Amino acid sequence: MNNIIKGEKHDWEMVIGLEIHAQVKSNSKLFSSSSTKFGSSPNSQVSLVDAAMPGMLPVINKYCVEQAVKTGVGLNAKINNYSVFDRKNYFYADLPQGYQISQYKYPIVGEGKVTIDFKDGTSKDIRIVRLHLEQDAGKSLHDQNPSKTYVDLNRSGVALMEIVSEPDIRTPDEAGMYISKIRSILMYLDTCDGNMQEGSLRADVNISVRKPGDEYGTRCEIKNLNSIKFIKQAINYEVKRQIEILEAGGSIEQNTMLFNTSTGKTRPMRNKEEAHDYRYFPDPDLLPLEISEEEIGKIKTSIPELPDELKNKFIDTYKLSNYDASVLTAEKQTSDYFNESINSDPELKKHAKIVVNWITSELFSLLNKNNLELNNSPVSPENLGQLIKLISTNEISGKIAKDVLEDMFSTGKTARQIVDEKGLQQVSDQEEIEKVIDEVIATNPKMVEQYLDGKDKLLGFFVGQAMKLTKGKANPKMLNDILMRKLNKKN
Amino acid sequence: MKIDKNTINKIARLSRIKLDDKESEDYIKDLNSILDWVEQLNEVNTENVEPLSNISSSILPKREDVSNDTNSSEEILENAPDKLEGFFAVPKVVE
């Protein structure tokens, strides 16, 4: 993958690391029993702990701890038997405690890695530095009133997993693939719902540029991006900005930036003169978190098949390409659909590649057009399987199958029903096809002459005419073979 | 480590506490004597000793993941100096 950017003066390379914030999918918050439900009326899910009323004490949610461990295992990471909760001190209106309970020196999960797969069949590992548990903050609304900010604490105290990568990412696409992969792993594990629109999954992006082979440059951090599109846009803008400064002889100031989603530009946060000084220290309200090997072992046994395992299984069992298999396993609903479809008929196992193509191109484009998710597909995996079987047994042609799928999609009928009702069976009867071809040859003597004089391109014309006469139902391979034979006999 | 006027001002600003000159002087004295006292610990050899986060030897108590379904809005906003339609209203903070 080419990751060199041509500048005015020389070549540049971008260096990117991501901090991903993933909300744990749990009923209650990390340190209180308030509900975590999204979209409730403001401040309706705020306990006295979340509002930091004096004297309230945090009690940790066992389930959230298990989900963090589970995620750590899914990231091929080291699980730490001993971790510590610290206070990260800063003032902001949506942080009633005046500090965020987080993990600093001793996170619950240490080094790991995830693999991203490129279209050309190659792969790359992105190293994970750590995953730690922390509290989410509340939400502030700034644009409702010229002199006030409105604060909703429903999100305050919801458990977050912060997943920090090494600066191993080199292009905006890699950044997109990396966060997609993390999202996919989280969703297979069911530890986060992965909903970026609702903010359950969001990222801070660290970006610097350097001349290839040089030391890392000074980085800037873009805060709180909640879509893959914005992540790529923000990186592209920020890299351009940094290169322009450097080529003009300037230097990059380490800064925290905000990305404006309507202009596509980054700008520094205003309070930069106050360098961050979080004064971390162990939270005296919480004892260290200890997890035994036995507990970790128990959590490991609850882990489902993850995308990479499933990918390798698909490659082995069905001889799919690395890329096809990674597309298929990127979302759990896709791999589930494929599994159900291919297992619906033993015949289909020999045609896995066709099944993949029909899911990822034909079915996906119909779903897209109708704004539907695969989960709500009007065509069930079994019915798609049946359609593919009709293709693989030469009962209908691939071209007609596309129309049949559209019919299935809008009427909910099975492929069999539609093919029978409309009489779409492929004509594979030797005699019938010969008859049609004889007719085509007989009615186009001039064309035949030209063809025999060497105008090979006319073959397509004959095929088209014959298909027209059979309403597209002739078996294309047979049609071709018979046509060639008959024309060559004339020679 | 010695606390001087700059340090005390920085700590006050980070803690959002306003100090006049007299108070600053008092705190410099207080904090320095506390630090001097704590610094005696440096005389202890702590090589190969793991840092201690908590002096209690009990185990972190954990709760089950059960949410209570009470609507907290009214109670939580009761002491708020200013509120609007269920939100806390605070002086504008914009970044």
- How far apart are the C-alpha atoms of B91 and A253, rounded to whole Å? 30
- Is some CB atom of chain B closer than 8 A to the CB atom of A149? yes
Residue with the bigger pLDDT between A272 and A438: it is A438
- Is some CB atom of chain B closer than 8 A to the CB atom of A273? no
| Per-residue pLDDT, A273 | 46
Do residues A69 and A210 share a domain?
yes
Q: Which of A458, A314, A473, A267 is nearest to A390 (CA)?
A: A473
Do residues A398 and A471 share a domain?
no
Model confidence pLDDT, tens digit, residues A215-245: 999 999 999 999 999 999 999 999 999 999 9
- Is some CB atom of chain B closer than 8 A to the CB atom of A258? yes
- Is some CB atom of chain B closer than 8 A to the CB atom of A269? yes
Residue with the bigger pLDDT between B40 and B54: it is B40
Confidence at A271, pLDDT banded by 50, 70, 90: low
Pairwise CB contact (< 8 Å): B60 & A282: no
Average pLDDT, chain A: 92
A306–chain B nearest CA distance, Å: 25
In chain B, where the domains are located: 5-41
B25–chain A nearest CA distance, Å: 23
Tokens of A388: 């593919």
A271–chain B nearest CA distance, Å: 7
Do residues A224 and A312 share a domain?
no
For the cut 80, the answer to whether the pLDDT of residue B68 exceeds it is yes
- Is some CB atom of chain A closer than 8 A to the CB atom of B9? no
| Per-residue pLDDT, A274 | 55
Contacts of B6 in chain A (CB under 8 A): none
Q: Which residue of B has its CA nearest to A272?
A: B95
Contacts of B82 in chain A (CB under 8 A): 148
Tokens of A484: 């060639």
| Per-residue pLDDT, A275 | 60
**Domain count within chain A:** 3
Residue with the bigger pLDDT between A426 and A478: it is A478
For the cut 50, the answer to whether the pLDDT of residue A141 exceeds it is yes
Pairwise CB contact (< 8 Å): A148 & B67: no
Mean pLDDT for A251-262 is: 91
Do residues A319 and A274 share a domain?
no
| Per-residue pLDDT, A465 | 87
Mean pLDDT for B1-11 is: 89
Range(s) of the domain holding residue A128: 4-300
Q: Which residue of B has its CA nearest to A287?
A: B60
For the cut 60, the answer to whether the pLDDT of residue A137 exceeds it is yes
Segment of A53-67, A260-274, A320-334, A432-446 carrying the highest mean pLDDT: A53-67
| Per-residue pLDDT, A272 | 47
**What is the Rg, in whole angstroms, of the alpha carbon atoms belonging to chain B?**
22
Residue with the bigger pLDDT between A429 and A22: it is A22
pTM beyond cutoff 0.90:
no
Q: How far is CA A51 from CA A61, A140, A350, in A?
A: 17, 15, 60
- Is some CB atom of chain B closer than 8 A to the CB atom of A36? yes
Pairwise CB contact (< 8 Å): A288 & B54: yes
Interface mutation vs chain B, best among A26, A27, A29, A33, most B CBs within 10 Å = A33
- Between A23-27, A92-96, A337-341, the lowest mean confidence (pLDDT) is in A92-96
Do A79 and A296 form a contact (C-beta atoms < 8 A)? yes
Confidence at B50, pLDDT banded by 50, 70, 90: confident
Pairwise CB contact (< 8 Å): B67 & A35: yes
Do residues A42 and A73 share a domain?
yes
Do residues A14 and A95 share a domain?
yes
3.40.50, 1.10.8, 1.10.20, 3.30.160: which CATH number matches B5-41? 1.10.20
B54–chain A nearest CA distance, Å: 6
For the cut 50, the answer to whether the pLDDT of residue A290 exceeds it is yes
Do residues A55 and A112 share a domain?
yes
Do residues A358 and A261 share a domain?
no
Q: Which amino acid is at B73?
A: S
Pairwise CB contact (< 8 Å): A92 & B14: no
Mean pLDDT for A85-95 is: 93
Q: Which of A300, A329, A353 is the last residue of a domain?
A: A300
Q: Which of A127, A144, A156, A122 is nearest to A53 (CA)?
A: A156
Pairwise CB contact (< 8 Å): A44 & B59: no
- How far apart are the C-alpha atoms of A381 and A476, rounded to whole Å? 27
Model confidence pLDDT, tens digit, residues A63-83: 999 999 999 999 999 999 999
Model confidence pLDDT, tens digit, residues A307-344: 999 999 999 999 999 999 999 999 989 999 999 999 99
CATH number for A471: 1.10.10.410
Q: Which residue of B has its CA nearest to A63?
A: B65
Contacts of B54 in chain A (CB under 8 A): 282, 284, 286-288
| Per-residue pLDDT, A1 | 47
* Nearest-CB residue to A28 (from B13, B65, B76): B65
Do A419 and A404 form a contact (C-beta atoms < 8 A)? yes
Restricting to A residues 332-361, those with a Cβ less than 8 Å away from any Cβ of B are none
- Is some CB atom of chain A closer than 8 A to the CB atom of B42? no
Q: Which of A399, A384, A373 is nearest to A351 (CA)?
A: A384
| Per-residue pLDDT, A2 | 63
| Per-residue pLDDT, B53 | 66
Do residues A90 and A200 share a domain?
yes
Interface mutation vs chain A, best among B17, B38, B53, most A CBs within 10 Å = B53
Model confidence pLDDT, tens digit, residues A345-393: 998 999 999 999 999 999 999 999 999 999 899 999 999 999 999 988 8
Mean pLDDT for A443-447 is: 87
- Between A22-31, A109-118, A391-400, B82-91, the lowest mean confidence (pLDDT) is in A391-400
Give the contacts of A415 (CB within 8 A, at least 6 positions apart).
A383, A386, A387, A390, A401, A404, A405, A408
Model confidence pLDDT, tens digit, residues A410-435: 999 999 999 888 877 777 778 888 88
Tokens of A491: 């020679």
Pairwise CB contact (< 8 Å): A282 & B53: yes
* Nearest-CB residue to A258 (from B54, B71, B95): B95
Restricting to A residues 155-194, those with a Cβ less than 8 Å away from any Cβ of B are none
Model confidence pLDDT, tens digit, residues A174-220: 999 999 999 999 999 999 999 999 999 999 999 999 999 899 999 99
